[in-house]
Amino acid sequence: MLSPSLSAPQRHTMLRQMLTIRAAEDQVQTLFVENVISGTTHLANGQEAVAVALAAHVQAARGDTVTCTYRGHSHALALGMGLQPFFAELMGKAAGCSKGKGGSMHLTDLSIGLIGTFAVVGAGLPITLGAALTAQVKHSAAVHFTLFGDGAVNIGAWHESLNLAAVWRLPVILICENNLYGEYTPYALTSPVPNVADRAAAYGIPARIVDGQDAEALHAVLLEAVQHAQSGAGPTLVEAKTYRYRGHSRTDPAAYRPPGELEQWLQRDPIHILADRMIADGQLTPAAFDTLSHDIDSQVEAAVQWALQQPYPDTSTLYEDIWA
């Protein structure tokens, strides 16, 4: 499919967001190695295009919402979570988006429509259904997005959610970030059909397979899906073929990857695909790209420094936020 190219400002926004995510996650990795961030983390280097294409469609003011997985830094940042509350959360500081109580796997910011990044595989899907139910009952134009990995399609919650979304024709967009692996196990060992999208027919819903490294192609497919949802026709399953450059989580060296696989994917880096296109179209120069990258690195660095200086939550807050 030839996707219509976006306007220069739209492309700039997406580029900026991808660079921000990349720089932020590189910092997260460093902070982990330095033990400034503890616990675990799941980086999305290589998958940034999905997050920014998503963000282009999410209108929190309209009531749109998003749920995604523990690999959710990219989505949170693309949707507009500030770098400061982001880093503060990962460090467990009081200024974190969730006051430090959530951590890397549990990012929530209702002001940008982010219900949460879910740490239990498949758990976010039915919750997005509920958000879509609200839209349906209230006759609003809101559209609701849920993201999951290729490994998540084998859990019961996934199936129940696709079925219910189809039966109730809910305004939901189900986005699979198929990065070829669930933890350390390749997709083909756990799923008997070549594509996740091959399962949509079981629910009578449309499915689209899209190049997950091409933010514009993703944007176009999601646009269709949004229109489909808003027309009352129900859910769409979108499968983005993508790749994570790093291991599953910080302790994983990804030794299970066949040699050369990473290198091949690095050739199709989502940031460079967009940047190259913008340069070819005269919307960006290599020098401007470098300046932008540099600016963003500085912003990220500043946010890290800010977060480092923030206090931890007072232990008096321990038993707060349990009950509404």
Ligand X SMILES: Cc1ncc(C[n+]2csc(CCOP(=O)(O)OP(=O)(O)O)c2C)c(N)n1
**Pattern of binders to a copy of itself over 151-170, x per CB under 8 A?**
---xxxxxxx--xx-xx---
User: What number of other Cβ atoms are within 10 A of residue 188's Cβ?
Assistant: 10
Please, what is the minimum distance in Å from the beta carbon of residue 226 to ligand X? Answer: 23
Residue number with CB closer to ligand X (26 or 183): 183
- Please report, as ranges, the residues that interact with Mg ion according to CB under 5 A: 149-151, 179, 181-182
Sign of CA dihedral 228, 77, 119, 319: negative
Helix (H, G, I), strand (E, B) or coil at 320: coil
Please, what is the minimum distance in Å from the beta carbon of residue 122 to a copy of itself? Answer: 9
202 belongs to the binding site for a copy of itself (CB under 8 A): yes
203 belongs to the binding site for a copy of itself (CB under 8 A): yes
Please, what is the minimum distance in Å from the beta carbon of residue 189 to a copy of itself? Answer: 7
Structure-block tokens of residue 175: 């986005």
Please, what is the minimum distance in Å from the beta carbon of residue 125 to ligand X? Answer: 11
Q: Which amino acid makes up residue 286?
A: P
Residue 69 partner contact from Mg ion, another protein, ligand X, none using kind-dependent CB cut-offs of 5 to 8 Å: ligand X
Return the residues of window 178-197 that contact a copy of itself according to CB under 8 A.
189-193
> CA neighbours within 13 Å on the CB side: how many for 54?
38
Please, what is the minimum distance in Å from the beta carbon of residue 164 to a copy of itself? Answer: 8
Q: Which amino acid makes up residue 107?
A: L
Among candidate residues 170, 67, 166, the one with its CA nearest the CA of residue 121? 67
Question: Is 48 in contact with 76 (CB distance < 8 Å)?
Answer: no
- Please report, as ranges, the residues that interact with ligand X according to CB under 6 A: 69, 71, 119-121, 148-152, 155, 177, 179, 181-183, 248
Residue 185 partner contact from ligand X, a copy of itself, another protein, none using kind-dependent CB cut-offs of 5 to 8 Å: another protein
Structure-block tokens of residue 296: 């963003």
User: What residue spans of 91-177 are helical by DSSP H?
Assistant: 124-137, 156-167
